[in-house]
Amino acid sequence: MPAAKDVEKKIEALRDKIRHHEYLYYVLDNPEISDQEFDRLMQQLKDLEAEHPSLITPDSPTQRVGGKPREGFVKVRHSSPMLSLDNTYSEEELRNWERRVHELSGRKDVDYVCELKLDGMSLALIYEDGKLARGVTRGDGTTGEDVTLNVRTVRSIPLSIELNKVKKAGVPPNFEARGELLMPTAAFKKVNEERERNGLPTFANPRNFTAGTVRQLDANITAERRLDFFPYILLSNGRTYFERHWETLTGLDKAGFKVNPNRKLVHSMDEVWAFIQQWEAKRDSLPYEIDGIVVKVDRIAFQDELGFTGKAPRWAIAYKYAARAGITKLENVRWQVGRTGKLTPVAELAPVAIGGTTVRNATLHNMDEIGRLGVKIGDYVQVERGGDVIPKVAKVIDDKDHPRGTQEIEAPEKCPVCGTKVVRTEGEVDFRCVNANCPAKLLGTILHFASRGVMNIDGMGEALVTQLTERGLVKNVADIYKLTKADLLSLERFADKSAQNILDEIDKSKELPLERVIYGLGIRMVGERTAQFLAEHFGSMEALANATVEELQSVNEVGPKIAESIAEFFSNPANQELVKRLQKAGLKFSGEKKERGTKLAGKTFVLTGTLAKYTRDEAKKMIEDAGGKVTGSVSKKTDYVVAGADAGSKLDKAKELGVPVIDEKALEELTD
């Protein structure tokens, strides 16, 4: 019997050898041994650990996958916000960004780092003493979800790094690596081919599939899907550690991470533009999807001087490539029913590969768009897709190599799901199913009701709602409030704790204010903002339900069509019963009445830069209290741009379009 010390040394030697070969295979893509030899080493380690379970450590290569499926995800607050980047789509906009960098920093000698904009999902990895302690999703940028068990299955993510190696890389032993988690194109294609063979629906694109994979409750499923990780930020105590971004990437590389090799340190915008053009031509040669190039100011001191806008750093920008397109044949058109009853024509296409994704369906929007395109069944069409946007039919191809189709696309007369005669209100482009109990509306209705911005029932996603509706446990949103633990335990992948978590979330939703309940009803043309105005004006669900069309039109931003839609909803007996059941369930049906001013009614504002006296939220409240509306982008429909210090591209856009630009003093005068 070997001595315990000898066994421990043998186990550690095996682990080091396996980590070395994992690094060669999954990070450097340069294996030295065969798969069979690697599997043999892993089996030896598993056997030794099984004989000596007290020697198993969390960072052992055998511990990447294991354990029972979890019952939910814990929320984790980020050490510093994980912000998104502003986008640009032209060389002119890119050079305008550079000009602002020069003006705000007071420097002309600025170096930039160019990196591929990987089309995946953001992830933060926290290491303590060189060992992976936690993996957290981006979430809302401030708080994410702990997905540690799932990210441990990603082979290019080191479970531990020798402290000596960390030190040589210039990296502190406790640090945070942020980057992009993605699914390689080949792995995504393989998954979809397998699902197609099994008669299952295929996934739309690698990015969405990645997001769904990392949130699997069973880490074994995540392990099967072969995700990859590329880091691009290193933090210590929530702050950037190195003095230059290029040094950050080099440090991560030396520490053993799979830093993307397609990066470049440049010294001018001409070099940036050359890099962008180079990779636009080569993007299809990559083993994963990209949708642009990220450009960052290299020196961290300059980044600190430039700072942030409300949602993005001023020292970085994402240049987005144009949507990719393909030509294929339109074989048929089917009508899809949404949660509000709206019927959308979907083009069924001969499969076409566009940007690493096989496209079989694309939206045609409505009959007016079909008429504008002049498209018929049998036509060859150009299909475009960009990022995770639903593919769309852009135009008909009419040349000698692509003969025209002859079959007209006909407007629907009946709902394709329930058979109810559809209606098209005069002056509107959409056909609608008006059957309140149409099964096609149900899934979308429940998902809308439970979503974060409405009743915020965390955990009630598509997988759960599909099971609930298919089993008849939920036939309308009121049924959510009669669910029992026994109902949930009868579903797949539900244990006692996960069932109780859902019930707790449902109970918690009862505390949300009246405007959320109104929004959750799914009344056609009533969005979040309109629901808020209705709640403030009427003060109760009863008053709203009994309001006449004329009374409804006295509410801010409620015109004749919206008023008619609200009145139509509350006049329907099935909807009346639904509202009664929600009230009986204990949802809030009353709130504080508040009359907003009308001085700025119909006026649209955009806020940019840093205001001296007010925060963004305070300025927004001033405008909305006076009846105005605040949006995020400048267009010809914008009435005023309120500009503070360090105003960015929105100010440039306002000047270009001739939109009036005012300061906060002028805003005070408008809202008084």
Catalytically active residues, by annotation: 117
How far is Cα 289 from Cα 508, in angstroms, rounded to an integer?
A: 40
Q: 136: buried, middle or exposed (CB in 10 Å: 19+, 13-18, 0-12)?
A: buried
Which residues make beta-bridge pairs with 335? 345
Which residues make beta-bridge pairs with 114? 264, 295
Task: Please say whether the beta carbons of 326 and 353 come within 8 A.
Answer: yes
How far is Cα 170 from Cα 172, in angstroms, rounded to an integer?
A: 7
Task: Please say whether the beta carbons of 515 and 534 come within 8 A.
Answer: yes
Strand ranges inside 20-130, DSSP E: 75-77, 87-88, 112-118, 121-128
Phi-psi region at 129: left, alpha or beta (left = phi > 0; alpha = psi -120 to 50): left
How far is Cα 127 from Cα 176, in angstroms, rounded to an integer?
A: 6
Question: What is residue 29's three-state secondary structure?
Answer: coil
10 Å Cβ neighbour count for 296?
A: 21
- The pair of three-digit structure tokens given for residue 341, joined into one six-digit string: 């009853």
Residue positions counted in the chain: 672
List the one residue out of 529, 566, 533 whose CA is nearest residue 547: 566
How far is Cα 567 from Cα 610, in angstroms, rounded to an integer?
A: 42
- Sorted by sequence, the CB contacts under 8 Å of residue 628 that are 6+ apart come out as 600, 601, 603, 604, 605, 671
Buried b / exposed e along 390-402 (16+ C-beta atoms within 10 A)? ebbbebbeeeeee
DSSP secondary structure letter of residue 54: G
DSSP codes, 148-204: HHHHTT-TTS-SB--HHHHHHTT--SSEEEEEEEE--HHHHHHHHHHHHHTTPPPPS
The alpha carbon of 277 is separated from its chain's Cα centroid by a whole number of angstroms, namely 27
Question: What is residue 386's three-state secondary structure?
Answer: coil
3-state secondary structure 204-267: CCHHHHHHHHHCCCCHHHHHHCCCEEEEEEEEECCEECCCEHHHHHHHHHHHCCCCCCCEEEEC
Q: Please report, for the chain, how many H helices and E strands are present, in that order.
A: 25, 22
How far is Cα 286 from Cα 292, in angstroms, rounded to an integer?
A: 13
- Bridge-based pairing of strands 316-320 and 87-88 is parallel
Task: Please say whether the beta carbons of 474 and 460 come within 8 A.
Answer: no
